[in-house]
Structure 1
């Protein structure tokens, strides 16, 4: 089956996990998950992740193009499922999640050994960047489809981030030249608020500027690579920052330096 135009967004999958869809919508999402392994893997990731996706995507879910999605899904021929009807689509792989969780510490250690550009195992802030990279690597251009929010909407989305992080973020301060601002979300990592500002580069796809409170001290900008994504990261006395995307290293370095200067002004 071709799922180019029918792959559910993270918002729909999150609503499916949280039991917020109607029975008909849930059945349709389940049919796609049964047929498309990539969608099943994304559903599994969202189901086991610790980030508060339900709260983060709530404003977006209310604006989701449900009628369009329902029309597209209704056109899909019904296919018999090899799984028992009473079994969730991602339950068949639950068996190895325990082993996956048990190997997480080892995986982090391997990451620290092999995936850095200027990356140090002593970097106490690296853990949150790894979590963000895992999440952003799932983004596609379709994840961030839709019109660019107006400046007023951007400012309204940034305001809760300011309140949680003790910052003063404006649309101008976080803008990336030639790259569309798409949305600002408040997530959580290790009990601390984590701001994510998502962008869509017309050439290389999704990008994100992420900010978390940190007392690790000032650190000059540095570069690394995670999950096939380039990252520039830095910190001041109170916060740690990272800009991540598939954009080339030279360009992300230029963008990161520019936004760092504006956020420091």
Structure 2
């Protein structure tokens, strides 16, 4: 266990992964990783997480009040500004997350700007890592993130078709519909080199909700419940895919919703 050196933060580890540290700083991280198994595991986990945060939140960033943000940047002490002067804006994940933080201060509707990879409250299992990353991602959403009209059925079907091609499924708007909850969009993301489907919804009672699907050969697992980032997660798997429904609704309501969608979706999986 490392006792003489400061444990690196997620930001430090991300900078190490992105190759942005000085040779001295990189050597320090390497030394800690070789000595501390928990830091080594954290580094590996961060390196595997590849959800496209910038792509998903680009529309929100484009709405940021530019003049107000520029005014905030001007107010930063000169010494601190000089520290970042040599690096282009939005070149990596750290700068993108910084932009999310600035947007939050400016009133853009993203409820969390600092991403920490959640380890969850449940026991470790083979599929827990991807659920942790998804929970971090979904925790960024607010109701305003998913504002706007519900897409027409043909638009929903077109979005779902893009997921089908990557995941080997045949999903329909009816199969993924949630009672009393609005379908908002379907996205194809990526985790650990695997396609990860996210179908986002807006529950008028509790806010954002998502059904996420990834290919998995871990085998069938009956639905189970856990808590991540203050949200309820119902997860299960069959012979070919792992599923999770995540949202802010109470656990019993999430379980009931998940059971309905599980029966419909697995009829097509």
Distance 1:167 1:75, change over 3 A: same
Matches for 1:61-80 after TM superposition, within 5 Å: 69=63, 72-74=65-67, 78-79=71-72, 80=75
Matches for 1:166-177 after TM superposition, within 5 Å: 166-177=168-179
* Equivalent residue, structure 2, for 1:81: 76
2-side partners of 1:205 and 1:238: how far apart?
Answer: 30
Matches for 1:111-150 after TM superposition, within 5 Å: 111=119, 115-116=121-122, 120-121=123-124, 123-150=125-152
Residue-by-residue CA offset, 1:145-167 (whole Å, 9 max, x unaligned) = 22111111111111110000000
TM-score for the superposition, normalised by structure 1 = 0.64
Distance 1:134 1:219, change over 3 A: same
Residue-by-residue CA offset, 1:91-137 (whole Å, 9 max, x unaligned) = 6x99xxxxxxxxx9xx87xx36xx12xxx32x211111111111111
Q: CA deviation at 1:52?
A: 2.9
Q: CA deviation at 1:81?
A: 2.6
TM-score for the superposition, normalised by structure 2 = 0.63
Distance 1:81 1:252, change over 3 A: same
Counterpart among 234, 237, 241 of residue 235 in structure 1: 237
Does the 8 Å CA contact 1:209/1:243 hold for their aligned counterparts?
A: yes
Does the 8 Å CA contact 1:201/1:207 hold for their aligned counterparts?
A: yes
Counterpart among 243, 260, 263 of residue 258 in structure 1: 260
Matches for 1:1-265 after TM superposition, within 5 Å: 50-53=50-53, 56-57=55-56, 69=63, 72-74=65-67, 78-79=71-72, 80-82=75-77, 83-84=80-81, 87=84, 111=119, 115-116=121-122, 120-121=123-124, 123-265=125-267
* Equivalent residue, structure 2, for 1:11: none
Distance 1:49 1:212, change over 3 A: closer
2-side partners of 1:203 and 1:172: how far apart?
Answer: 21
Distance 1:65 1:218, change over 3 A: closer
Q: How many residues align?
A: 192
Does the 8 Å CA contact 1:53/1:187 hold for their aligned counterparts?
A: no
Residue-by-residue CA offset, 1:66-85 (whole Å, 9 max, x unaligned) = 5xx37x54478935232416
- Gaps spanning 5+ residues in structure 1: where? 1-47, 95-103
Name the SS for the 2:217 alignment partner.
coil
1-side partners of 2:191 and 2:142: how far apart?
Answer: 22
2-side partners of 1:150 and 1:166: how far apart?
Answer: 24
* Equivalent residue, structure 2, for 1:45: none
Larger radius of gyration: 2
Does the 8 Å CA contact 2:49/2:133 hold for their aligned counterparts?
A: no
Q: CA deviation at 1:86?
A: 6.8
Q: CA RMSD in A?
A: 3.1
Residue-by-residue CA offset, 1:162-208 (whole Å, 9 max, x unaligned) = 00000011111001111111110000111110000001111211111
